[in-house]
Each structure stands twice: as C-alpha cells, then as structure tokens.
Amino acid sequence: MALLSLSSLSPLAPPCPSFPLQLQTRISFSRARIGASSTSSPSTSQVIQHASSNPKVVVTRERGKNTKLIDALAEHGINCLELPLIQHLQGPDSDRLASVLSAETAFDWIVITSPEAGSVFLEAWKAAGTPNVRIGVVGAGTASIFENLKQSSKQSLHVAFAPSKATGKVLASELPMDGNKRCTVLYPASVKASNEIEEGLSHRGFQVLRLNTYTTVPVDHVDHIVLEKAQSAPVVAVASPSAVRSWVNLISEPDSWSNAVACIGETTASAAKRLGLRNVYFPMQPGLDGWVGSILEALRAHDKF
C-alpha cells in the first residue's frame, strides 16, 4: 500500500506563547452531494433526484461536519455522498467539566485531541466564565475549532502547542513541561479514547486528570437507498475507528466489499485493517490536506480520478 506524506501542523515553541495558531482558511465552492440523516432520512424521490451525480466519495462524519472535506474535494471536481455513520452523545463526566474549570486551581495544560472534544470543551469553558487556559492540540483540524473565538475570548484562551506529528502518542511525548515543577494536565476525552495520552504524560511526570466528556455511537437510522449507493462508490472516507466499525456493521458482506477506505490517520487505518477491510489508504501526516491526498490516491489506484 502506498502512503502519502503531506505537511502537517508544525510544533510551536514551548511553552506559554501569547498568540493562537495561525490557521489557513479554505474558500467554499459549490458542491453536489446526497445525504442521509441520522434523525430523519430523505425521501426516495430526493435520493433518486440526485442519483445521476455519481458520487465518487462517501463522507461519513456527523451531518454538518463534512463541509470542509466536501469543499476540498470539490476543488478537484469530485462529487460526494454524505452518509453520516456516527453521532456524539454526552459522556459520564460532561457535567463535571465546567465545575473543574471553575475551580481555583488552574491547569498548566488543557489537552484537546479531536474537534468534538474541542467543541464540548468550549461550551464548558464559556459556562465556567472563560478562565485563562493554555491549550495543546493534536493537530490543525482540532485547532480550527478555536479559530472563530471572539477577540475578547482569545485573550484568555491560548492555543499554545501542537506536536510535530498529529497523533496522541507524539503529543504525549512532546508536550512541554514547565521547569522542574509537576505540571498538571486536564484531558477532556471520548469515552472510547485509549489511555495512550494520559499514560504517556504520566510516565513523563505530568499529573493528568482525564474526564470522559462525550462518546461516539452509530447513527440511529440510515436510508437503505443511500446505503446501497454508498457501497458502490469507489471511496469511503472515515475519520475515526467508530466510523469504520459502523461501516463494517452496515455493509452486508464486508469480506466481498473491495472498494477503498480513505482514513484521516494511522489510528483509523489500523482499525480498518483489523476489521478486515483491504484497500486502506491514509496519510503519513494526519489532517484535512493529508486526508484529501489519500482520497485522491485511492481514486487514482482504482482508475476513478
């Protein structure tokens, strides 16, 4: 399997910079897509109306969170079918997050490792009165969640670190420590996230509080007509192991399905391989640009681009 190595967010100088990450913005292009909602499916006539668009890529994040990928692929003339495979729900510690942020003891770092974790954190941070916090993110996609903060809020929330490679393992190995003191880290995470980050940080001497603030579950409903069309698309794009599992559970014969899976990163790709999917593509550097590159590579390999 060929791997595509594309640029990722470079690590920032440790620690305490007084400026947020400067992130690129993307121009939105018009795009054609077919959708299946997790709460209510489109009518058969709506699906048939768009059937002639012949989508090449299935995008599978929650509805409303596929726009950047759809727009990026539209720049290459690629039509997408939107088939949300997962949805996010509150985790057991979601109610604790705001109170922990409101406490007098401040954390040296808040570690955010996904856009959803960032969104959940921002809600709690605002409820806590926007205390001063220093954020370490896993990569540019996660950092983009903090782009649209009001200028007044940016004065108390600093995105101050990203690792040289956008993975939890590298983040845990590179997060800066403040001198010889015992640094404290708040890690709002998914229930399903591994222990890799808190174990890696703890081994280095950090004191880590993990809060399971959200979880990921399969969607409640998938329109069977849209699913049938998705199975015939050359590439399915997935952004998490949960999405991979949901896809494998939906397709009737995973062993005989031979189209490509383009994963956002190595962790998701490893899950796809473990679940028996064969044509798996992923970038050496996780993130939107790398993900798009892997999708294009998959399409070229299957003579669809």
C-alpha span between 189 and 206 (Å, rounded): 17
Q: Is residue 43 part of a domain?
A: no
Whether residues 184 and 95 share a domain: the answer is yes
CA distance 192 to 91: 10
Residue 151 tokens, joined? 């200028």
Same domain, yes or no, for 111 and 66? no
Residue 33 has pLDDT above 80, yes or no: no
Read off the pLDDT of each residue in 180-200 and give the average, rounded to a whole number: 93
110 and 185 within one domain: yes
pLDDT band at residue 3 using 50, 70 and 90 as cut-offs: very low
Amino acid residing at 223: D
Q: Supply the pLDDT for residue 288.
A: 87
Q: Quick one: pLDDT at residue 198? A: 96
Kindly report the CATH number assigned to the domain that includes residue 187.
3.40.50.10090
Host domain of residue 278: 55-84+218-301
Q: Which residues of 36-60 are buried (b: 16+ CB within 10 A; e: fewer)?
A: bbbeebbeeeebeebeeeebbbbbb
Would 227 be classed as within a structural domain?
yes
Q: Are residues 124 and 202 in the same domain?
A: yes
- pLDDT tens column, 114-146: 989 999 999 999 999 999 999 999 988 889 889
> How many CB atoms are closer than 10 A to CB 181?
9
92 lies in the same domain as 184: yes
- 281 part of a folded domain: yes
What residue type is 140 in one-letter code? A
Per-residue pLDDT tens digits for 272-283: 999 999 899 999
Residues 137 and 252 in one domain: no
Joined tokens for residue 30 = 């018009």
Q: What is the pTM of this model?
A: 0.74
Q: Tell me what percent of the residues of the chain surpass a pLDDT of 70.
A: 81
**Residue of 16, 31, 67, 25 lying closest to 176 (CA atoms):** 16
Q: What is the mean pLDDT of residues 71-97?
A: 95
**Which value, in Å, is the radius of gyration of the alpha carbons in the chain?**
20
Residues across the chain: 305
Cα–Cα distance measured from residue 11 to residue 145, given in angstroms and rounded to the nearest whole number: 18
CA–CA separation, 100 and 121 (whole Å): 11
For 259, half-sphere exposure in the C-beta direction (CA atoms, 13 angstrom radius) is 20
Which has the minimum average pLDDT: 38-42, 154-158, 200-204? 38-42
pLDDT at residue 254 tops 80: no
